[in-house]
Each structure stands twice: as C-alpha cells, then as structure tokens.
Amino acid sequence: MSEAYITRISKFLPNEAVSNDEMEQYLGYINGKPSKSKAIVLRNNGIKSRYYALTKEGTATHTNAEMAALAVRGLFEKSPEELGKIDLLSCATSSPDQLMPSHGVMVHGWLPETDSVEVVSPSGVCCAGMHALKYAYMSVKLGEKKMAVSCASERLSPVLRADQFEDEVQQLVKLEQNPYLAFEKDFLRWMLSDGAGAFLVEGQPNPDALSLKIEWIEGCSYANEEEACMYMGADKEADGSVKSYKDFTQEEVIDKSILSIKQDVKLLGEKIVKLGFTKLKNILIEKGVSMSDVQYFLPHLSSYFFEKKIDDFFTENGIPIPKEKWFTNLADKGNVGAASIYMILEEVFNSGKLKKGEKILLAVPESSRFSYMFCLLTVC
C-alpha cells in the first residue's frame, strides 16, 4: 500500500470575530430580554470569541457549502490551477444547508474549476470531519486517488437565533449547581460557531514544506449500548427512543422547538469522557504507542469544562499528558463542530513550531450517540 500524508491545511472563518458581549446582537433576545444564563455558561466553557455567517440583522453572509468551498480554495491559494487536479472531495458537516442534495455535491458546485470527481458526504456531528479524512486517507493509501481533499464545515448560527426558541424559564440556581445543564437546549447557543477547514491528502509528502504522515485513524461508536444524547430535528421519548421531525405536525415542530439542538445532560455527564478515553487507552496499547511518544495532544473540546475531566481520566489511568503538550483554540474560535479539529490542526501545522519526527495525537469525542475518532500523525 501507499502511504498517505496531509500536505496542506487551510481554514475559512466568516466575517469578524464576535465577542461575548456582542453575541445577542447577532442571535437576538429570547422574549426580548438579555439572557441571565449566558454569563454562567461562558464562564464554564471558556469561549471568548466565535464566528457567525450572518449579519446582526440575521441575514446569511455565506452558505455552509460556500464556506467549505472557500476552505478548499485556500489549499490552492498559491497554485489555483491545481484545483483541477483534485480527484476526490470528501465533505462533512452536521448542519447541511438542505436535506437534499448532499452537502458534498453542493460544495462541489461551488468549485467549477474541478473535474467531475468522486464526492462523498459523511454525516454525523463532531466525528464527521474525521470520517471525511479517513475516507480520503484510505482512498490515497489504496492508490485509488492522488489528490484527495477532505473538508468539514458548520453553519449553526441560524438555529441559534432567538426566533428558533420558545420562551423558557432560565433555571439559574440549577445551572450554578449543575454545570452540565449548560449543554441543554438554550444554553448551547453560547457554545457554537461557524466556519470550515480543509486538508489535502496525497501519497507523497510535500517536497517544499512539512507534511503530516497519517499513521492511523481509529473510531468507534457506542450506539449499540447507549441512547442518543444530542439530537436535532427530533425529540426524545420517555423510553429513550428518538422521534423524527417527520412524525410531528408543523405546529408541533414549532411549539416543541424540534429543529433546535438538544442534549440529555445526564447521559453527557456520565458517559462522554469515560467511554471514549477508555477506548483511546486500549487503542494506544494495541498500537504500542506511549503518551511519552506524543509531542502534541489536540483534543476537540466542546467546552473547557471537559478539559480537567479528560486530564483527570488520563492521570487516573496511568497515561498522563503534561499540559504543555495540549493545544486547542476553543477560546478564540468557538466550538465549530465537525470543523473544529481541522482548525486546531491548521493552527499547529502553520505555527512554524513543528519539527520532523514529532507525533501529534488527535482526539474527537461526539456526544450525539457517543462516537469517537482518534488519529496519530508524524511530522515529516
């Protein structure tokens, strides 16, 4: 088999960064009043700024597919003629602009310079971006593709607008006592961000710059034993099953905020760290990798609230990672879902600090029904 290398990385962020104080100017006020919970949620999640593909009046400035295409174009900023050499486009998102056609072909539609290439659209939530990368990685490794592009993008700001939420009583005392409540419905408004990232995957390293050899990509799902934890376009029944938006009337879709993102916070607190990072520990043992071999640990965090919980898990299980090896840009980019890991790696890749031979461990947990993706890269 061939090897597979990430040879270029780019990102696209719409408009200007939005500070914590400006958020409701873009998202609006529920029931016409400033949120009383926002400060508590932001204190726990540690996010200082994020990006929205909309104006303060709520007008869209970019579509999801357009942002993804702009990230792809960024890979070829110095050589735009190479866009025509792409032979695979693997595009992930949890927030497509439409149910049909697929997100991937809509991204392809924004790239008329490309050929009639293979396009795939991995669906899901945070792990979807890694699934897109794995498809590109496998295609190159098998020798079927030479210039594969994987990308991930999100445009969740429209569903965070105040007009998407019914008037709800904000339970501030409960929120102070149980920070996990900040991951329920209304409170997710203060965590999510828009943007896109892209990787170019090739069978040879870049002769003129650093590349990242993909050593392995491993994933797992616990849906066989766990209920849905985060869901959108559905509602959760008392028995744990999920009822589709298709089975509600139009009035119920509006009245019950079915198109809003929701989380089962009890499941989130009990499962999200324990399940996935137990799996990572086993993968590292199986692969013969020690944390001492790793120079950079890049976790996708939905909130800094989980940083200590992951750190504590590693320490308790005998695989501690010194904090100087950790890197995330959650504070200034926000949680960009499937695109977050692309943006984190892009910042490290283009930092000028990487040295040949260093290893980078990526970790992406997804709470929707407890899925996880992990990847080891070597700088070359």
- Ordered by start, the domain boundaries in the chain are 5-209, 213-230+261-379
Q: What is the pLDDT of residue 13?
A: 98
Residue 85, pLDDT above cutoff 60: yes
- Residue % of the chain over a pLDDT of 90: 81
Q: Tell me the C-alpha distance between 193 and 27, whole Å.
A: 12
What are the b/e assignments for 284-305, b being 16+ CB within 10 Å? beeeebebeebbbbbbbbbbeb
Q: Tokens 């959760």 sit at which residue?
A: 236
Angle, CA 221 vertex, CA 220 and CA 222 arms, to 5°: 130
Domain 213-230+261-379 has CATH 3.50.50.60: no
Residue 180, pLDDT above cutoff 70: no
For 335, which DSSP code? B
Q: Tokens 């607190």 sit at which residue?
A: 269
Q: Tell me the C-alpha distance between 89 and 87, whole Å.
A: 7
Query: Between 3.40.47.10, 3.90.230.10, 3.40.190.10, 3.90.280.10, what CATH number should domain 5-209 receive?
Result: 3.40.47.10
Residue 99 token pair = 């149910």
Q: Tokens 């985060």 sit at which residue?
A: 230
Q: What is the pLDDT of residue 36?
A: 78
Calculate mean pLDDT across residues 245-263: 88
Confidence of residue 169 (pLDDT cuts 50, 70, 90): very low
| The domains spanning 5-209 and 213-230+261-379 adopt the same CATH topology | yes
What are the contacts of 282-289 at 24+ separation with CB within 8 A?
283/218, 283/374, 284/319, 287/216, 287/376, 289/376
Q: What is the pLDDT of residue 177?
A: 60
What average pLDDT is seen over the chain?
Answer: 92
Look at residue 174 and give its three-state secondary structure: helix
pTM of the model: 0.94
Starting at the edge strand found earlier in the chain, the sheet holding 147-154 runs 118-120, 88-92, 147-154, 195-202, 5-12, 212-221, 371-379, 359-366, 296-299
Q: How many residues does the chain have?
A: 380
The H-or-E segment that residue 157 falls in is none
Residue 47 token pair = 């996010």
The answer for 332, left when phi > 0, alpha when psi is -120 to 50, beta otherwise, is: alpha
Q: Tell me the C-alpha distance between 266 and 269, whole Å.
A: 6
Confidence of residue 260 (pLDDT cuts 50, 70, 90): confident
What are the contacts of 26-31 at 24+ separation with CB within 8 A?
26/52, 26/54, 26/55, 26/56, 26/58, 26/157, 27/52, 27/157, 27/160, 27/161, 27/162, 27/189, 28/58, 28/161, 28/162, 28/163, 29/162, 30/162, 30/165, 30/167, 30/168, 30/186, 31/167
Instruction: Give residue-wise pLDDT tens across range 1-56.
Output: 899 999 999 999 999 999 999 999 999 987 778 887 788 889 989 999 999 999 99
Instruction: Give residue-wise pLDDT tens across range 296-352.
Output: 999 999 889 899 999 999 999 999 999 999 999 999 999 999 999 999 999 999 999
Residue 182, pLDDT above cutoff 90: no
Instruction: Give residue-wise pLDDT tens across range 154-165.
Output: 999 998 888 776
Residue 345 token pair = 């790696």
